[in-house]
Amino acid sequence: MKRDRAPGGKAFPKNAKSRRPTGAIGVTPIAARPAVKHALLLAAVIGFTFLAYANSFHAPFLLDNDEIILKDARVQAVTPVQLHRILTGQYWETASNGLYRPLTTLSFLFNYAVLGDGADPYGYHWLNFILHAVNIVLVYALGLAIFEQIPAALLLSALWALHPVLTESVTNIVGRSDMLAAFSVLAALLCHRKALEATGVRKAVWLAAIGLAAAAGIFSKESAIVLVAVLAIYDFTFGRAASWRSRIPSYAAAAIPCLVYLYVRSQVLADASHLATPFYENPLLGAGFWTARLTAIKVIGRYFGLLVWPARLSWDYGYNAVPLFGWGLGNWEDWKAFAALVGCAAAAVVAIRSWRSRKPVLFAVAFFFATLSPTSNLLILIGAIMGERFLYLPSVGFAVAVVWAFHALWRRVPAGQPAYRYVAGAGLAVLLIGLAARTYNRNGDWLDPQRFWLSAAEAAPGSYKANMSAAANTFPATQEDVVRSIRYADRALAILDGLPDSQNAPGAYHDAGIFYRNLGDRLASRDAAGKASARSEALYWYRKSLNVLLRSERIELASDERFRAENARRGKPGLTSLPSKLYLDLGRAYLRLSDTPHAIAAFERGRALESAPELLEELASAYRAAGDPRKAAMALVEALAMDPNRVELAATLVELYGQIDPQGCAVTRQGGTPSLNPDCPLVHGDICAASRNVIGNYLRRGQQFEAASIRKIAEQDLGCAPGLLN
């Protein structure tokens, strides 16, 4: 009798369904299961997963969510202009990082403007969970294709859906790009299976579905480019009976959207400013080739550790959470790299030996490494050394291997010993409940910002960013909290202390400066209240704040010099990456030390970089205190040009112009209430000068659209002559 071979490698007679071993997983053939049963089982898995994520739907906009969603004007209104900007602009509106993910940004537009979620995170989290639920269905379908058994597929989908390491993609709103990319790869793979079996029009429909899925993924996140490799892995593992010629249409359908994406991305980025990935985000950028690759292999070992035991999770693993490989046998970190290298080699050997009889194992290993490859830093160095979000899709391969191992153990349990199977089933139930509980607990971290920052510092004590965030973003309610925060801040700076300015992290020193200033304010307020004599202690922290801010400035200037040179070489001279916020806080530190001249100079330096309303208001207050109402008024006019909603500034401007031009036309009293007269030459000139400053600052940031918008308003609405705006 002709015999077929199941994907797990066990031969069984064709159509002899009743001959499967009694008690094995999946004793009932798939064909005999009604579709409604699949739906009910999936509903149970998704429902259980929902319970694990039930406490995540009100988690606030942490990390990149603020910049990518709340501060991106493109997602706040559905207009042709904003749609064009999304399709032709970088992923980050406020930073140049070389990412192009228009469909992800469009999904945020859908939440913000179409559904009306705005700044309420609830709707964003719901859409993220729905995407995760869709991917659960796809993983279940993949499990049916691999194992041909419903219990194995169900276990696969549950293990994957509940794993705590996935929370950074599901609960972190901007992790949506990872879920969209995963949807693309899984959906296209399942469509490819159907396309191999179909002919004529049906085959064309499945090929079109592959193309649409590929386009959705690659335009959501660049890592979806692994799709073609995943199709090849599946064909090599399970689809060897089909001819390579029959597979070519599927590969073409997947590859064409990727090629289109690469072309469009190159055009978009050609018009954008260039900002190189800094060393402190990915230390591998400053290492030699082999040092970087051995460290990257060590990271893969850490990923495996997180998948096996996800007890300690962190949102950041930057410098120096993963020390570079040091080429020393006495270094424990180097032994971790050797162990990871041996583990990767062993996995490759197991996969090769499994290509005939244990096909799920071969698929699991190849899928894991293929889908991890874009972010592994083995092929190309990316903007981060490590991130839990990078495991969203590769963890499917890990779950396949776990399910296969459990299946193999289950089949070795004697059929006449049901007690062993009860124990195994109970153990599996405990495992799933444990994963759900850890996921629920991790989502509690995301829900509580203070707990979120502190948990990261505990999980990644070597990360300067995790430590500084724990210091800067937590509220010190007690003296013990203050001491703890100081310890975190000092630890973060100690981690960075040995780095040269060319590799150092200016943001850490900036955050430390704000933190130390706040400590001084805390002590100064006690002094003002007469509760304690804390003036000398406050001055200590103010001086410490100033020192670290000046260190931040030195690092920023070194970075900006490289930024200017690189962009000038690319034909974009005059750009700058210096943040005005640094000079705002420098000015505040000088004011705390009663050094008004240096404070004004710092504020003016920031003003020359960005027309930030908060900075301009501080500058105006400093000028008023120094007895210069005219410069104070000009600063406030510029603040209003940037943010017309700051109506409270109007009364201050009336007061200032009343002092500057007491007998002139600057202030009109029509109707009995004094108000500013924009037609007065003095006021009109200041308005046009302010518009010119705003335009120039936008141009120095490479923000052509914003500069053009201000120019249009100044010329058409405010009547400024074009020559006054150049």
Please compute the mean of the pLDDT values over residues 508-537 and round it to a whole number.
81
Summarize the confidence of residues 79-99 as an average pLDDT.
88
Q: How far is CA 205 from CA 135, 245, 250, in A?
A: 21, 18, 11
pLDDT digits (tens, 9 = 90+) for 229-252: 999 999 999 987 777 788 899 999
Per-residue pLDDT, averaged over 188-203, amounts to 94
- Residue 534: pLDDT band (50, 70, 90) is low
Name residue 214's amino acid: A
DSSP class per residue in 117-140: -TT-HHHHHHHHHHHHHHHHHHHH
Percent of the chain past pLDDT 70, that is, above it, reads 94
Q: What is the pLDDT of residue 313?
A: 97
- Does 533 have pLDDT greater than 60? no
Per-residue pLDDT, 20? 41
Measured CA to CA, the distance from residue 295 to residue 572 in angstroms comes to 35
591-601 mean pLDDT: 96
Short-list 692, 638, 687, 631, CA closest to 656: 631
Task: Answer whether 360's CB lies under 8 Å from 8's CB.
Answer: yes
Residue 11: its pLDDT value, please? 35
User: Taking the domains of the chain in order of start, what are their residue ranges?
Assistant: 33-270, 283-402, 628-726
Average pLDDT over residues 458-473: 96
Q: CA-to-CA distance for 510 and 545, rounded, in angstroms?
A: 9
Angle ∠(30,35,38) on CA atoms, nearest 5: 75
Q: Supply the pLDDT for residue 10.
A: 39
The length of the chain, given as a count of residues: 726
Q: pLDDT (tens digit, 9 = 90+) per residue, 477-502?
A: 889 999 999 999 999 999 999 899 99
d(C-alpha 651, C-alpha 192), whole Å: 67
pLDDT of residue 477: 85
Is residue 66 packed enough to be buried (19+ CB in 10 Å), middle (13-18) or exposed (0-12)? middle
Digit-coded pLDDT (tens) for 279-337:
999 999 999 999 999 999 999 999 999 999 999 999 999 999 999 999 877 788 899 99
* Helical packing angle, 244-270 and 200-218, nearest 10°: 30
Please report which confidence band the pLDDT of residue 350 belongs to, taking 50, 70 and 90 as the band edges.
very high
Q: What is the mean pLDDT of residues 85-113?
A: 91
CA–CA separation, 152 and 131 (whole Å): 22
Question: pLDDT tens digits, residue range 5-51?
Answer: 444 443 333 333 334 443 334 444 544 557 889 999 999 999 999 99
Is the model's pLDDT at 544 over the cut of 80? yes
Please check whether residue 143 is in contact with residue 153, taking contact to mean a CB–CB distance below 8 angstroms: yes
3-state secondary structure of 726: coil
pTM: 0.90
Higher pLDDT, 694 or 94: 694
**Beta partners for 676?**
667
Provide the token pair at 592.
């705390």
Q: Give whole-number Cα distances, 618 to 584, 600, 633, in Å.
A: 8, 9, 12
